[in-house]
Structure 1
Amino acid sequence: MTQLPSPQQPAAGALLRERLGDRRFLLMLPRAVGLQVLHPAIAPALVEHSPMRLWEHKKRAVLQMIYLACADHDTAAAIRFAHEHIKGVDDLGRRYHALHPDTFLFQHATYVDTLMTAAEVFGPPLTDESRAELYDQCCRWYRSFGISDRRLPASWPEFTAHFARACREELRMTPAARELAGQVLRPDAWIVRRVPTGVVRAVQHERAAELYGLTPRATDTAALRTFAAATRAGSATAPRRIRIISQARH
């Protein structure tokens, strides 16, 4: 049986709260969302069940996700309430449900991958030890959802192998993904609207880049390098109340 955190203890440990609530994680979200849109169950759910444009929906969903991760009470009921109605049929006629363990695990995995990538690109960098600690806290965070953790990788190396396989075998360009692709690659709302198009292209996972038909460009790499340097410099001098969003400080 899945063990939930104590109601008196946030799902996210101190390291995860700091990283998840950092605005630099939000700037990297085009990577996570780019992968989610290519999942054959997540894409139609976004098209059919969200009345908002993609990034308006993600603003609401991600900020709520961070708030619940940092909450000091059991959040499993809130997760189920928010996702129970999200179900339907994909482009191949197969039923999908947002609470299916494989689908939910993949979406969670895109955020884990993005957290780690944000640390590599925008800093502060992780040591092998802190990366292992952060992944352990991500596992605790996942278990707080009350979803089966039977397929949850036990360690960071196991996670990277699992995630690479899932991206390779499960993702594809569906009609729903094609409908959302323009919004993925040119965010039009929230904090991600400030991310240059070249940077959005450069941070895409290699499997997403392949499916979106993105060819490597030197200008994208240069844009990412410049944007990352500016972001690191700004974060180094910003007070914590600016750097950490309010949903992670409550």
Structure 2
Amino acid sequence: MTPTPEHTGPDDSVRVTAGGDPAGAGIPGARPPLDGGGSRFHHFFDDPRWALAVIRATVLEAAHPQVGAALLDNSTFTAHPWRRLRNTLVSLQRMFGADGQVRAREAARLNRLHQRISGADDRGRPYDALDPAVRAWVVATLFESTVTMCRLGGQPLEQHVMEELYDEFQGFLALLDPGNDSLPPTLDAFWPYYDRVVAHELENTEAMRIILFHLFDHLPAPPLLSGLPVLWAAGRAVGGPLVGAVTVASLPEPFRRRAGLPDVPGARTLMQGAYVTAGLARFLPEGWIRAECVTDLLYRTPGGASGPEGPSAPGSLIDRAAAFVRLVTPLGPDPAGVPGDAPRTADAFFREVLDQTGEGFLTWPDLAAMARELATRLDLDEPEETRLYDAFAAWWRELVGALDTDGDGRVSAEEYAARAPSLAGSALIRVAEVLFDVVDGDGDGSIDETEYRALFRTGFHRDVACDGGRYGRSAFVKDFLSFMTGHRRSTAFDPLLAQA
């Protein structure tokens, strides 16, 4: 992923990669998007300090009333934060990679996803994920937080580097939303725009407060460390408040003052130390801090596999370290050791699987989040993606019609527990059949090992009883229905839909 871009002029609307791929082809007026090793941003994407910068940018995004309301209503960031992080990294890798066709395909997928997100906040104000000003603000927070990351880390960017970086982020927005002119055309004009939004549009939203003060307090262990609950809880108790203090201290002073955010003594010194310390991770062995490595680790489960790797690979080393800690530390039972056919209570299934947004009720956004995760895992295009969403929508109508006894348009845990464990209607069967069809990419009526891994990110023979090396339709539908009605746990579907 290190082709060198060729420029024919500073005002070109198309960047051509070394492979001859027109990155902005077909997009009138598009600026050059990010393209792997040839971009300024590609260097920062693997910078360890960017982890802090992304948290900061997410807080600034959530402080926008439209973004904050959309997150509360539709996002899985509280119940499944690691899955959300993993999907974000995968999307960024695609959007900032060297292949123009991959970038265009990912932009189309993101637009379809955002097209399904709209509504109103608790004050009746509408939000729309396709609003040009909102999309521009999301890009603006990423750019400004990258610049701030370098400044706080003691390595401020030179003016010409900032200008080139800003041009790349404008190209990113142009690829995602052609014709969006909400970002100012020049870097000099950007800073007044940014200050104006911070001063007049950002609010102390509930989504922002959750990210700053509550998310880390209850942050579940990442999949790889799910068998180390005591160790994770101890680290979270120390690290959560520190991350919160560092993030608050890094926010713009006018907003901190207006939002009434705490000014902890020594927080600015701690913040600068955190950015400098994170930068020292660049001395780790080559490849350990690559975003691809982080994504791979977030796919892993104890004893699981996400792809071929050698004994010295980071994931293999972490697996062995985690196994050693479990061996010498009395940490209690390992959740990963729960048998695949172990029973699960209706309450546990409701909390762990159905309530994807973590709000305590089952609503359409919860089922939409399931469809979104499945479509993302399989990297579906139209019309398969729409077929999957439509199947889940039909299942939602069936669920709310059968379980919503008080007529409030949502299903409580009590309403679900009263009837749902025995509910497996035609709509849910249709979901299973549509899911099988989209997983069976070659249409041969069975799922092979490659297709299985595309969905579950695990092995095949070890995880499913195969018939001649194949996973047939009837077996798949039976396993899916057994899982989705809460009858039993599943070594395949639990990591996909219940994992944090």
Q: Deviation at 1:68?
A: 2.6
Quick check: 1:242 aligned with 2:288?
A: yes
- Show structure 1 runs of 5+ residues with no match: none
- 1:133 matched to 2:159? The reply is no
Distance in 1 separating the partners of 2:167 and 2:273:
32
Q: Within 5 Å, which residues of 2 pair with 1:1-250? A: 8-9=22-23, 11-13=33-35, 14-53=39-78, 55-56=81-82, 58-71=84-97, 72=99, 73=101, 74=104, 75-122=106-153, 124-178=155-209, 181-183=212-214, 188=219, 194=239, 196=242, 197-235=244-282, 237-246=283-292
Structure 1 range deviating more: 32-41 or 69-78: 69-78
**1:63 Cα deviation after fit:** 0.9
1:203, distance to aligned residue in structure 2 (A): 1.4
**Residue aligned with 1:96, SS:** strand
**Separation of aligned partners in 2, 1:186 and 1:153:** 38
Q: Tell me if structure 2 keeps the 8 A contact 1:31–1:200.
A: yes
In terms of fraction of residues, the more helix-rich structure is 1
Q: Structure 1 147/239 Cα, relative in aligned 2: closer, same or farther at 3 Å?
A: farther
Distance 2:158 2:68 in 1: 34
CA contact (8 A) 2:212 2:247 kept: no
- Give the letter aligned to residue 223 of structure 1: L
Q: Distance in 2 between matches of 1:189 and 1:28?
A: 21
Query: In the alignment, is the contact (CA less than 8 A) between 2:118 and 2:128 conserved in 1?
Result: yes
1:43 and 1:136 map into 2 onto residues whose CA distance is 27
Aligned residues of 2:56 and 2:145 also touching (Cα < 8 A)? yes
Indicate how the Cα distance of structure 1 residues 58 and 226 shifts in structure 2: closer, same or farther if over 3 A, else same. same
CA distance in 1, matches of 2:111, 2:290: 27
Offset of 1:198 from its aligned partner? 2.7
In the TM superposition, residue 85 of structure 1 has moved relative to its aligned partner by 0.8
- Residues paired across the two proteins, number: 245
| Aligned equivalent of 2:371 | none
SS in 1 for 2:65: coil
> For residues 157-193 of structure 1, what are the alpha-carbon distances to aligned partners after superposition, in whole Å with 9 as ceiling and x for unaligned?
21111111111111122455555552368683689x7
Tell me, which stretches of 5 or more residues in structure 2 are unaligned? 1-12, 24-31, 223-235, 296-500
1:125 positional shift: 3.3
Conserved 8 A contact 1:11-1:70: yes
- Look up the equivalent residue of 1:113 and give its one-letter code: E
Q: What SS class does the counterpart of residue 119 from structure 2 fall into?
A: strand
Question: Normalising by the residue count of structure 1, what TM-score does the alignment of the two structures yield?
Answer: 0.83
Q: Residues 177, 187 of structure 1: CA spacing in aligned structure 2 closer, same or farther, 3 A cutoff?
A: same
Q: 1:172 to 1:154 in 2, by over 3 A?
A: same
Task: Please tell me the root mean square deviation across aligned C-alpha atoms, in Å.
Answer: 3.1
SS state at 1:243 partner: coil
Q: Distance in 2 between matches of 1:125 and 1:64?
A: 28
The SS at the match of 1:119 is helix
Corresponding residue number in structure 1 for 2:391? none
Offset of 1:26 from its aligned partner? 1.7
In structure 1, C-alpha distance between the alignment counterparts of 2:259 and 2:216, rounded to whole Å: 9
Q: How far does the alpha carbon of each residue in 1:189-236 deviate from its partner, in whole angstroms, 9 at most, with x for none?
A: 689x7572431222123244234422433310221232233223332x
Q: Hey, what's the Cα distance between the residues in 2 that align with 1:190 and 1:18? A: 29
Bigger mean CA deviation after superposition, 107-116 or 87-96: 87-96
TM normalised by structure 2 equals: 0.44
SS at match of 1:218: coil
| Aligned AA (2:290) | I
